[in-house]
Structure 1
Amino acid sequence: MYKVFVNNTPIILSTKKSIEGYIKISIKEVDLPSVIRDILQKEAAKIEVKYHLYHKSEDKLIEQLYTKLPVVVAGGGKVYNDKKEVLFIRRNDKWDLPKGKAEKKEDMETAAIREVEEETGVTGLEITKFLYRTHHIFKRNGEFRLKVTYWFEMKTDYKGELIPQLNEGITKVKWKDRKKAKKALLDSYENIKQLFSYEYLG
């Protein structure tokens, strides 16, 4: 099963024949921009709507998804320091984790480290493991796009200044301990929350 977020509303992609309470559509046949517009309209009216896109093959779910919208591939980092604090950025009035679009022919690990460095000023980053791949919808130049972000856990012993990348709309960069991270996640995105364990979210 996969989730594609439209703001904080997930579209479920799965091989299940049906999910109770969800509108089921074959992913081969779906008009995804129409589904997205419906979700945004319902969200604005505070009406819950649940969509389930189905295919009997799990491999085909993602393959078909990537044909429905232009795809932007990005890399991002969940970064820990020596105190086990997590690195957060503030952008668009939400707490987020540093991430950004991969450059042409750039591998995901390189893209993730570069983007964390550019957006926060933190250096000395070392990837410890691959975490997760998230999917969310955004709009650019009047067109819906699918952002696929490859997230990596990283560590650093960096103790220098945190420098927000202002030209990317980042207003703050902060190290947050567990208590402050839990609070920040209340004012974050659902796809970011997926990267944290229940001890942060509970």
Structure 2
Amino acid sequence: MYKVFVNDKPLFLTSTIEKETDFQLFLLESIDIEQLITKIFNHRIDKAFLYHPDEKQALKILKERIPVAKAGGGLVYNKKGEVLFILRNGKWDLPKGGMDKNEVIEDTAVREVEEETGIKGLKVGRKLQKTYHVFKRNGTYKLKITHWFEMKTSYDGPLVGQAEEGIEQVAWLNKDQIKEALKNSYENIKLLFEEESIGQTL
């Protein structure tokens, strides 16, 4: 099952039909996706399931119907095991950003982390799960697919938030601080901590 967040509300791509309780179920083949997304954006639907017998095919169809924006980001650890967070628009987030033309996604992730936080000396580790969310730009919906990488660094210099990206603060957070920060974060970020083994250590 794929989870796509629209305005921080979940839209599930599923191959199982469940009896409706607190959500609405739609057939992907026949639904007007843009209309559904607009309803979720306008808080008229809180949670929806899109059914297709093949989940991978469902994601493919969604990508055909909504323009895709690829992004790369990092879950960065320092020597103390703290994680690098940014505060943007009053919410805690992880550094990430859009892919440049002809760029390899791993390079995107490293470049964006460096630009948004001022950090140096990143070593890229394993690839984490991708996250999906729909946003609106210039009146058009786009599906942002973010590729996440675990990264490590021994950098202990100053952290500098990228002002033009609206970053108000950059900070290393320990386990307790992460728990607190996730209360004021995005669903996709919480998902990374829930579903990766790092969630076990929090």
Q: Which amino acid aligns with 2:7?
A: N
Aligned residue among 118, 121, 124 for 1:121? 118
Work out whether residues 181 and 200 of structure 1, in 8 Å CA contact, stay in contact via their aligned partners in 2: no
Deviation, 1:9, is 0.7
Aligned partner of residue 110 in structure 1, secondary structure: helix
Please give the TM-score of this superposition, normalised by the length of structure 1.
0.92
Deviation, 1:41, is 2.4
Please give the TM-score of this superposition, normalised by the length of structure 2.
0.92
Deviation, 1:40, is 2.5
Query: What runs of 5+ residues in structure 2 fail to find an aligned partner?
Result: none
Deviation, 1:25, is 1.5
Q: Which amino acid aligns with 2:82?
A: E
Partners of 1:147 and 1:18 in 2: CA distance: 27
1:28 alignment partner in structure 2: 29
Partners of 1:152 and 1:86 in 2: CA distance: 13
Partners of 1:90 and 1:19 in 2: CA distance: 39
- The 5 A counterparts of 1:65-144 are 65-144=62-141
Aligned partner of residue 103 in structure 2, secondary structure: coil
1:11 alignment partner in structure 2: 11
1:167 alignment partner in structure 2: 164
Aligned partner of residue 193 in structure 2, secondary structure: coil
1:40 alignment partner in structure 2: 41
Q: Deviations over 1:27-75 (max 9, x none)?
A: 22222221122112236xxxx6321111111220111010121110000
Partners of 1:99 and 1:155 in 2: CA distance: 15
Aligned partner of residue 151 in structure 2, secondary structure: strand
Partners of 1:20 and 1:154 in 2: CA distance: 40
Question: What is the percent sequence identity of the aligned residues?
Answer: 48
Partners of 1:36 and 1:58 in 2: CA distance: 19
Aligned residue among 184, 189, 194 for 1:192? 189
1:52 alignment partner in structure 2: 49
RMSD of aligned Cα (Å): 1.5
Q: Do the aligned partners of residues 200 and 192 (structure 1) sit closer, same or farther apart at CA in structure 2, a change above 3 Å counting?
A: farther
Query: What runs of 5+ residues in structure 1 fail to find an aligned partner?
Result: none
Deviation, 1:13, is 0.4
